[in-house]
Chain A
Amino acid sequence: GDSVTQMEGPVTLSEEAFLTINCTYTATGYPSLFWYVQYPGEGLQLLLKATKADDKGSNKGFEATYRKETTSFHLEKGSVQVSDSAVYFCALSDKGGSEKLVFGKGTKLTVNP
């Protein structure tokens, strides 16, 4: 079945450091890929998405590129801020399969001043 594997955390960085959170997936159809962010005490918010191979999703300085050849969708940001501290979830929706979102287990990011 469809699945998402993302790097385990927690990840702790200093402000202005470079961030990468790895995400790989398996899917039977043609998935759309998403990154969600959950700030403390809140629900999940869509951060960015990509719906086909080679698409790049971007938002708030975060980027991720849909790599079909490596089945990956790694999240990157060039310079993190304290306000980026949150839990990040990679997810897929398989249009040719279940058509429901399948989530990774989440990666907790803490950014220190």
Chain B
Amino acid sequence: DADVTQTPRNRITKTGKRIMLECSQTKGHDRMYWYRQDPGLGLRLIYYSFDVKDINKGEISDGYSVSRQAQAKFSLSLESAIPNQTALYFCATSGLQGDYDGYTFGSGTRLTVV
């Protein structure tokens, strides 16, 4: 099994619908992140959590919310999806030494909002 698992892998949804992307990890890491990837823009941080009781906004949090249900689970929600949220979404994890060791990424969720 993958260290960081994202579900679903692909999703098409309609404008205005609520959608949840899920992430679970077996790394035992405390820190979890949600990134969005768009062509030509690289990866941009949406939200991050350094432990179960800690939630922080990233650079592009508007229109998104998150829930850290447990150390191993971190979900991203779009309350009312819009077409410009069409993107590839990545969950990542790191230990306390993430600044030295880097992050472990999931395989991504490709979301299309029509």
Contacts and interface: CB of A to CB of B under 8 A. Distances in A.
Interface of A: 32, 34, 36, 42-46, 49, 51, 89, 91, 93-95, 99-101, 103-106
Contacts, number: 55
Interface string B46-77: 00100000000010000000000000000000
Interface of B: 4, 33, 40-43, 45, 48, 58, 90, 92, 98-108
A112 B67 CA distance: 44
Contacts of B102: 32, 34, 36, 46, 49, 91, 93, 101
- Secondary structure dominating the interface of B: mixed
B42 A105 contact: yes
Contacts of B100: 32, 49, 51, 93
Contacts of A100: 33, 45, 48, 58
A93 B4 CA distance: 20
Given A51-B100, A100-B33, A100-B48, A43 B41 contact: no
Shortest 5 CB-CB distances between A and B: which pairs?
Answer: A105-B42, A43-B105, A93-B99, A103-B43, A44-B105
Nearest to B45: A100
B51 to A, nearest CB: 14
Contact of A104 (B33, B42, B45, B103): B42
